[in-house]
Structures are given as structure tokens and as C-alpha cells.
Structure 1
Amino acid sequence: MKSLKFTYILFLFLLILSSCKTLNTNVGIPQQKLPEHYNKTLSDSTNIAQLNWKAYFGDEHLIRLIDTALANNFDLQMALQRIITVKSELLKAKGKQLPNVDLNSWAGRERVGEYSVDWAGNEGGTFLSGDPLNPAYNDYYLGLTSSWEIDIWGKLKNSRKAALSRYLASIEGSTFVKSNLVANVATLYYELLALDNELETLTHTIEKQKEALEVVNLQKEVGKANALAIQQFQAQLLNSQARKNETLQAIAKTENALNFLLGRYPQPIERPKTRLFQDFPHDIKTGLPVQLLTNRPDIRQAALEVEATKFDLKTVKAAFFPSLTIGAKLGYNAFNPKFLFTSPESIAYSITGGLTAPLINRKALKAEFNTAKANQLEALFNYQKSILNGFMEVSDEMINLKQLEELIKLKKQETNILEESIEASKLFYKMAKASYLEVLTAHQNYLQSKLELIDAHKQKQIATVNLYKALGGGWY
């Protein structure tokens, strides 16, 4: 009979192990090979992403703003708190690998039935102290209890490794927030510089338009201009003044947005508007695409999330196997408080071991396994997406920078020519060799070209910031 029971238990054990062989934890997806270079031109490993953002920007005003944002920005502070939360999960996973030891104490009174198994044969008996046994008795205990799951299949170890990977991923997540914050502050900073230069251009243009209006008024007095010409010049002046008011409004809103990133209430922001037209102190070097894997915090975070899901899958698989738990108890136990600390008579201890294996709820475990497997596949796809996204961002900003540099060259020439045309049109108008419409057109074309040149410089600075971020800069 005993051999039959043993055979039955062994059969169940082997059945459990054999069914677990079908749970494949080797999950993978096709991977696209990362190009060796960003374009057909060969490049070396020199990379601006390896520069500290302070050295990269080289602007003391911008550096002070970014320092303030890194200290006060609420999004970054929340990201840092998420690190603490995930770290707590890591400590919890580590603690599960150690025995659980508790200090327990209890006191109670119990009465057993006189015809029960617990009382049968005890009537008339006595305790070791000589006190008579009664159906009703007190019970006191003070001591330690412990339980410990022996990690036979690595379930607890893999759970700890998953928690560690997520902890490291949370650090990379906060680094990514920091990188974005640096880029966003720099972007708003250059938008402010552009608006300052737009304001200066509009102010200068308004002065020129007022001078032109005075000339037309004089021409009307001597009969060389009519009221229509004056109205046209007045309308152009009013339009420029309205654009100036819109620019002042945009400056106030942009300052507020920048102050919000800095975690402070609205206040003036010191900045030199001429900085918009200055290049960064370092040449733009993109390095090699493979450096994205180590430089970009979002790609590193995605890679760590993949590692975490791998350990999750192994942890879920281990739940299919039998688990061994050891329990122990050591303390003082007595029916009377005065005997509680009497040694060795009141010392009580026990040790137990239990082997449990899931039988009925295996479908639920398999559902968890399939979920963990799907999570790993999702993490793998997200990792590949992060790499592709990083490469495309760098490629886009490189193209953007090249086009903007060409645009700035052309716009500079155009602006210089149109600036000269203003003076020429005014002179020809006084000599009656040009109409007032030509003067108006010259003013309008110059203003538009000048504003487009300022915008091109702004876009170039922002593209340079975005390229730095796309390469993984801003976190050193």
C-alpha cells in the first residue's frame, strides 16, 4: 500500500515536470541590422553626445536656466520619486529570498469536549508541575516563528533580477526626462531670442515706416502725392505696430512657459538676443549609429525592460514546479504564566517542511505565462522601435541642419539686397521715378525677409539642440 502511494506521488511529480517542458522561455523577434553610418559619408566615433551639456551649449545664461530647471522642475522630481518606488520593489524582492522571522506571543483559554479525542484518556491526569488536567485550560506562548521558501527553481532569484532591471530602467527613465528637459529649456530659450530679434526688427521697421510716412505727407503738401498714398503708408505702419504687439504677447507667453519648466512663477529672464546668430562652440559630430545603444537613455531603458520581462517569464515558469517551504517555531509555552519562562520544561519548538505543486489551477498559471510571454514580445518590439526612432531622429535633424544652413545663406543675401532696395525706392520716389507702391513693397519685402532670416536662425539653433538630444546628449 505504501509503495502504491509513493508511485502515485512520483507519477504526479513527473507529470508536472513533463508538462513544464512545453513552456518555452526562449522568445525572440527578427531584428533589423543597424546601419554602420548615418549617410554615405564615412564618419568616426567622435560624438557631441559625449559632451556635457554645459560644455556643449557654452552660454552662461542658458546654463543658469538649465541648472534651475534641473533643481526645480516638477516632472523631473516626479521621475526621481518613481525611482524610489521601484527601488522599494527591489528591496521587497530581495527580502523574499531570506527567511521570514517573526516574534509572536499569544494568550488564550480553550475547553475541549470531555468525550472528544483530545480529552479521551486524559481525565485524572496531571501536568508536570502536579496541577490537575482539566477540560478547560489556559495557553500562553512567547517565541519566534519562521518560514522560508527554498528557491529550488530560481523563482525568487529571477523575481529579484526583474525588479533590479526595472529599477535600473527607472533610472534611465529619469535620465530621459532630464535629457528632454535640457532640450526643452534650450528650445524655449532660442525661441525667446528669436522673438527679441523680431521685436527689434519690427521696432526698427516702424521707425523707417514713420519716416516714409512723413516724406509722403510732405509730398502731398507740394502736390506730388495724394490721400490714397498716405492711407496706404498709414495702413502699413498700423500693421507693423499690430505685429509688434503680437510679438510682445508671444514673448510674455514664452517667458511664462520657460519659467514653468524652471519650476518658478513668472519673472524676467535675462538673455542676450545676439546669441541667436552665434554657432555652438563645438563642431557637430554625430559619431556612429551603434553609439545610440549606449548614449540614448530611452534605448537603454527599453533594453532593461526587455531584461525585466525575460526574468518575469522565468519566474512565472518556475511557478509550475513544486515549491519547498520550511517552517520553524521556537519559544516558551505554558498553561500558567508563572511557568512561562521555566527552562527547559516550557521550551517548545517545531520544524516542518512542505512540498506543494499546483494541480487544479494550472490553467491560471498558463494564462500568466502567456501574458508574461506577450509582455516580453511587446518589450522586444518597443526596443527595436526605440532604436529605429533614434536613428530616424538623428537622420532628420542632420537633413534639417543642412537645409537650414543653405537657407540662411540665401536669406542673408536676400535681406541685404532688400535693405538696399528700401533706400533706393525712397530716393527714386523723391525723384518721381518710383511710385509709392514700390516704396511700400520694398518695406514689406524687407520686413518679411528679415523675419524669415531670424526664423531660420531659430530653427537652426533648435535643430542643433534636437540633434544633440537625438544622439543621447544632455545627461552627462
Structure 2
Amino acid sequence: MVKRKTTKYAVIAFLAITYTACKTPVITGRTEDKATPLAYNDSTSPDTANTASTSWKQFFSDTYLVALIDTALKNNQELNITLQEIEISRNEIRARKGEYLPFVGVKGGVGVDKVARYTNIGAMEANTEIKPGKEMPEPLGDFGVAAYATWEADIWHKLRNATKAAALRYLATAEGKNFMVTNIISEIAASYFELLALDNQLAILQQNISLQENALKVVRLQKEATRVTELAVRRFEAQLLSTQSMQYTIQQQIVETENKINFLCGRFPGRVNRSTIGFDNLVPATVYAGLPAQLLSNRPDIRKAEQELEAAKLDVKVARAQFYPSLGISAAVGYRAFNPAYLVKTPESLLYSLAGDLVAPLVNRNAIKAAYYSSNAKQVQAAFGYEQTILNAYTEVYNQLSKISNLEKTYALRSKQVEALAQSVDISNNLFTSARADYMEVLLTQRDALEAKFELVETRMQQLNAVVSVYRSLGGGWK
């Protein structure tokens, strides 16, 4: 009767302790907000067509540019480093999977032991006979071989959730690689168009040098005819020298841009093969932005943030499971004897064991609480990061679409400006030749015409780069 009461109280005490141990602190997580505007502008009927679904080999029609991008995606060192990070994440999943599966091993051992005779163990062994007339050997050998297994029963899915979190982080790393691919593609395309623009500016500059050299000859002839002074000659010479010096600045910019492309392609400096088609003939591709909600599936950085958020949620569950009891099971079976001759003798040398442990934290759970609070804070942090990534993606697309529209209007006006200044140059030269205009008017008109041509080329380059940027911002290039 007393024994039954003792057992009853022991069970009640154990359940009370387990209940106390399983109590978890109250935390407040955060549910992410995935809402996006219906469209990128005030249009009431947004189109679902999305340029992000177009392959980069189809989006870029220039064969030289396609070849450069293809080389970069194979040889870029930073991209290859990221691929190894993906492999590291994949191995982390393998390691996590092994934690919730039983661990089975085999062990064997050989040893020898000499116990002092005047001890309790030594005295017992001295009086022990293996069989009548045969005492225990001294020193005593120890030979054994056994198979053993250990396993933590994943009652609360702590280990499985940790494995799922590792898998999600692996997927996030893969999405990070995809985001890097889109950035490399856009960076090479932007640098390539910058290179074509610099080539065009250099050609414009060389044309102007030729025109200014002819103008200088005319001014010198007019000086000989006493129609102008030496001041006019010197001013024309100064302008020619200034224009000639500009070509070396552009040539240096060409070298640096070529080497930037070469670096992205993972190769040493050298000339970059490129199109010789007139830069003025390049027309920016038409971009279809689609719906803002499509960014959630198209943008690799948003997909990466989403995977990291889901992993953070699982981390909270793993941290919560630390408050609950854990069940560990261990077993072993094998043979053990003091003499190899008796090692496989059954049942005398046979050994086996089976044990189970139920462990729950009770006192001083500060470390577990701290890990639990930290995992919750990281989950909230990941939710804010996810929302920020969506907001940033939407803003990028909105800005680039606006930029494309404004640059188109700017290019149209600057084209008219260049045309008007080109006519002004001809008019000023004719007036100067007939002594009806001052030489300063010729110089200023030539300078303004050169600047306008440069600005027109710069605007066209910005147009092309804006299209590349919106393609990247929409999530194109990595598929």
C-alpha cells in the first residue's frame, strides 16, 4: 500500500515538473505584408505582359553583347564563389538530416587491467574462480566487439524543423546566385552600351577636330589678307588644342570600360570586340512591366528574402522545442571477454543493453529563453527585411519606367537642338567668311554644337541603360 502511494506521488511530481519545464515564454512575432499596388502608374487597366519572362539571349539582340554575357556567366569569379556557397548550404542539409536519423556504429577494443590485490575489487577477483581449480588470470585482459546505436526521438519536430530551415537557406543561397546573375548581366550590358557611346563620342570628336583644323587654315589665310588679327588665329588654335586633348580623356575611359567588362568576364585586360553599327541607330527595346505582384515570383532577391523568412519561422519552432522534454534511446549488442578464446562464446560472453532517457530543462533556463527570444527577434527582423525588399523592388521599377519616359522626351528635344546647332555652325562659318560675323560667334557655336552632340549620345546611352535596369528590376535574366 505504501509502495503504491509512493509510486503515485512520484508520477504526480514528475508530471508537475514536466509541465513546469514545458511552459514557454510568450512572444509576439510578425506576419509579413505581401501587399503591392495594383499597377506602376495610374492606369486603370494594367497589362499582365512582363518582359522579365524573356530570356536574356532574346532580350539582347547584339551578338557581341550576348557573347560577353555568356563568357561572364561561365568565368566570373564572384559568381563561382557563390556557387561554392550553395554547395556548402547543400552539405548543411545533409548534416541536419543525419541528426534525426539513428546513428549506428561498430566498435572494438583491446586492453589489459591489473587491479591492486588489497582493494575491494582485487580481493573479490582473488577469490573468484572461473571453474574449480582455475582462478581469474592476472593481469586481466579485456577484449570486446559490439554494435551500438543512439537515437533522439524527434517528438517535437525540433530536428526536422532544423533540417527544413537548412533546406530553405539553401534555396535562399540559390536565389542569391540568381540575383547575382541578373546583376552581372545588367552590369555588362550597361558597360557595353557605355563603350559604344564612348566610341561614338570619339568619332564625333575626331570629326570636329578635322573641321576645326580646316577652320584654322581659313583664319590664317584671312590674317594674311589682314581681314582678322592674330588674336583670332590664337583663339582658333586654342580651341583646336582643347578639342584634341579631349580625345585622350575619352580613350582612357574606353580602356577602363573595356577592362571593367574583361574583369566581369574573368579575363585579363584587352580589347573588347563590339558592334560597329552607328550608335544613333540603336533603338531602346520596348519594356512591358506587367503587374507589381509579379515581382514576388520574378525577383530573385524577393524570393531569397522569402526563403530566409520561412527559415527564421522554423528557427522559432526549433527554439521553442528546447523547452520540451527530449527522449534519447541507446542500445548495444556484442561480445566481451578477458580472453580471445572466450570472445564469441554464447551466452557467457554476450552483452546487450537498451536504455532510454527523458530529459527536460527545469532550473536556470536563461540560455534557452535567450535563444528563444533571439530567434523571435530574427523572425521579426526577417519579416521587415522581406517587406523592405518588396518596397525597394517596386520603387526601382517605378523609377526606371519614369526615367525611360522622360529620357525619350529629352532625346527628342536634344535631337532638334543638335540639328539647330549644326545649321548654326554652317551659318556662322558663312557669315564669318563674308566678314559679317565675329570669330567669337564661330567659336561659341562650334563649342555648343560639340557639347550638344555629346549630350545627345549621353542621353541615348542613358535610355539603353534604363531599359537594362528595368529588365533587371523586373527580375529578368536569371531564368
Q: TM class by shorter-chain length?
A: over 0.9
Match of 1:132 in 2: 135
SS class of match (1:33) = coil
Q: 2:14 aligns with which of 9, 13, 34?
A: 9
Name the counterpart of 2:55.
52
Question: Which region of structure 1 is more displaced relative to structure 2, 417-426 or 257-266?
Answer: 417-426
Contact 1:99-1:147 within 8 A present in 2 as well: yes
Question: What is the deviation of 1:32?
Answer: 6.9
The residue number in structure 1 matching 2:36 is 34
CA distance in 2 between partners of 1:327 and 1:134 (Å): 32
SS in 2 for 1:145: strand
- Do the aligned residues in 2 keep the contact of 1:422 with 1:439 (CA within 8 Å)? yes
Find the aligned partners of 1:15 and 1:119 in 2 and give their Cα distance.
47
> Out of 288, 293, 296, which is 2:296 matched to?
293
Give matches, 1:255-266, under 5 Å: 255-266=258-269
For 2:220 and 2:419, locate their aligned partners in 1 and report how far apart those are by CA, in whole Å.
Answer: 28
2:156 is matched by which residue type in structure 1? Answer: W
Quick check: 376-385 or 112-121, which moved more?
112-121
Counterparts of 2:189 and 2:282 in 1: how far apart (Å)?
A: 14
Q: Distance in 1 between matches of 2:456 and 2:285?
A: 23
Q: Contact between 2:112 and 2:139, CA under 8 Å: does it hold in 1? A: yes
- CA drift of 1:360 comes to 3.2
Question: Does 1:430 find its partner at 2:433?
Answer: yes
Q: Is 1:225–2:228 an aligned residue pair?
A: yes
Question: Are the structure 2 counterparts of residues 32 and 157 from structure 1 closer, same or farther at C-alpha, using a change threshold of 3 Å?
Answer: closer
Aligned match of 2:208 in 196, 205, 210? 205
2:155: which partner in 1?
Answer: 152
Instruction: Indicate conservation of the 8 Å contact 1:194/1:458, yes or no.
Output: yes
Mapping of 1:25-424 within 5 angstroms?
27-29=29-31, 31=33, 33-41=35-43, 42-112=45-115, 114=117, 118=121, 122-127=125-130, 131-133=134-136, 136-274=139-277, 276-278=279-281, 282-424=285-427
Q: Supply the distance in 2 between the matched residues of 1:37 and 1:117 (Cα, whole angstroms).
A: 88
CA distance in 2, matches of 1:436, 1:61: 45
Instruction: Indicate if the aligned counterparts of 2:32 and 2:384 stay in contact, CA closer than 8 A.
Output: no
Partner of 2:3: none
- For the residues of structure 2 that align with 1:107 and 1:171, how far apart are their CA atoms? 49
Superposed displacement of residue 23, structure 1:
4.1
Mean CA deviation greater in 364-373 or 131-140: 131-140
Residues 72 and 30 of structure 1: CA distance in aligned 2, closer, same or farther (over 3 Å): closer
Paired letter, 1:12: I
Letter in 1 for 2:365: R
Unaligned runs of 5+ in 2: 1-5
Alpha-carbon separation, structure 2, partners of 1:272 and 1:259: 16
How far did residue 282 of structure 1 move? 4.9
Instruction: Give the CA deviation at 1:346.
Output: 2.7
Please give the alpha-carbon distance, in whole angstroms, between the structure 2 residues aligned to 1:411 and 1:273. 23
> Could you state the TM-score of these two structures normalised by the residue count of structure 1?
0.95
The worse-fitting range, judged by mean Cα deviation, of 358-367 and 229-238 is 358-367
Q: Deviations over 1:288-325 (max 9, x none)?
A: 00000000000000000000001111001101111000
Contact 2:68/2:188 (CA < 8 Å) preserved in 1? yes
Moved more, 134-143 or 7-16: 134-143
CA distance in 2, matches of 1:129, 1:16: 56
Q: Aligned-pair RMSD on alpha carbons?
A: 1.9
With over 3 angstroms needed to count, the CA separation of the structure-2 counterparts of 1:127 and 1:179, relative to structure 1, is farther
Letter of the 1:39 counterpart: N
Shift of 1:146: 1.2
Q: Give % identity.
A: 38
Q: Aligned residue pairs: how many?
A: 473
- Following the alignment from structure 1 to structure 2, what is the Cα–Cα distance between the partners of residues 81 and 340? 49
- 1:363-396 Cα offsets, whole Å, 9 max, x none, are 1000000110111111100000000000000000
Q: Do the aligned partners of residues 275 and 118 (structure 1) sit closer, same or farther apart at CA in structure 2, a change above 3 Å counting?
A: farther
Quote the offset at 1:107 in angstroms: 1.5
Measured against aligned partners, the alpha-carbon deviations of 1:385-420 in whole angstroms (never above 9, x if no partner) come to: 000000000000011111110011011111011111
| Counterparts in 2 of 1:396 and 1:436: CA distance versus 1, 3 Å | same
How many angstroms apart in 2 are the aligned matches of 1:258 and 1:351? 65
Q: Which amino acid aligns with 2:236?
A: F
| Unaligned 5+ runs, structure 1 | none
Deviation at 1:174, TM superposition (A): 0.5
Give how far 1:261 is off.
0.4
C-alpha contact 1:324 1:353 (8 A) present in aligned 2: yes
Superposition deviation, residue 356 in structure 1? 0.8
State the alpha-carbon separation in 2 of the partners of residues 46 and 129 from structure 1. Answer: 96
Q: Which amino acid aligns with 2:350?
A: I
Are residues 71 and 224 of structure 1, via their aligned partners in 2, closer, same or farther at CA, if it must alter by over 3 Å?
same
Local SS of the residue matching 1:127: strand
The answer as to whether partners of 1:194 and 1:273 remain within 8 angstroms in 2 is no
- The structure-2 alpha-carbon separation of the partners of 1:144 and 1:250, relative to structure 1 and needing over 3 Å to count, comes to same
Amino acid at match of 1:431: S
On the 8 A contact 1:182/1:474 being kept in 2, the answer is yes
- Could you state the TM-score of these two structures normalised by the residue count of structure 2? 0.95
Amino acid at match of 2:374: T
Mark the CA change 1:187 to 1:199 in structure 2 (over 3 Å): closer, same or farther.
same
In 2 relative to 1, CA 87–220 (structure 1 residues): closer, same or farther, beyond 3 Å? same
Partners of 2:395 and 2:297 in 1: CA distance:
16
